[in-house]
């Protein structure tokens, strides 16, 4: 895996998949203790606006109706209407 990843060092952003070990600290926060990469994919360098524009072109995606993609993504991530 290290040899495969070496070609991308300091290059394009990657999405990695794998197995990890998480522990909860005294404050209830999750801490990643170990992560073993099993696979990865190279991501493009599109901005959020470019990615949303592409999603809006997909028939039935629902993104054409979203006025504020940042707020929508924040709501999806955090489950509230507040923008952080």
Q: pLDDT for 35-56, tens place per residue? A: 999 999 999 888 888 988 999 9
pLDDT exceeds cutoff 80 at 81 = no
pLDDT one-digit tens code per residue, 55-80: 999 999 888 888 898 888 888 888 86
pLDDT exceeds cutoff 70 at 83 = no
Are 16 and 39 in contact, with CB atoms under 8 Å apart?
Answer: yes
**DSSP state letter for 2:** H
Domain ranges of the chain: 1-45, 46-84
């Amino acid at each position: 895996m290290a040899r495969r990843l070496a070609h991308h060092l300091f290059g394009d952003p990657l999405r990695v998949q794998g197995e990890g070990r998480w522990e909860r600290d005294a404050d209830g926060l999750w801490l990643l203790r170990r992560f073993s990469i099993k696979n990865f994919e190279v991501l493009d360098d599109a901005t959020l606006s470019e990615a949303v524009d592409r999603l809006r072109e997909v028939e039935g995606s629902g993104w054409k109706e979203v006025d504020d993609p940042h707020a929508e993504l924040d709501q999806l991530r955090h489950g509230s209407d507040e923008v952080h």
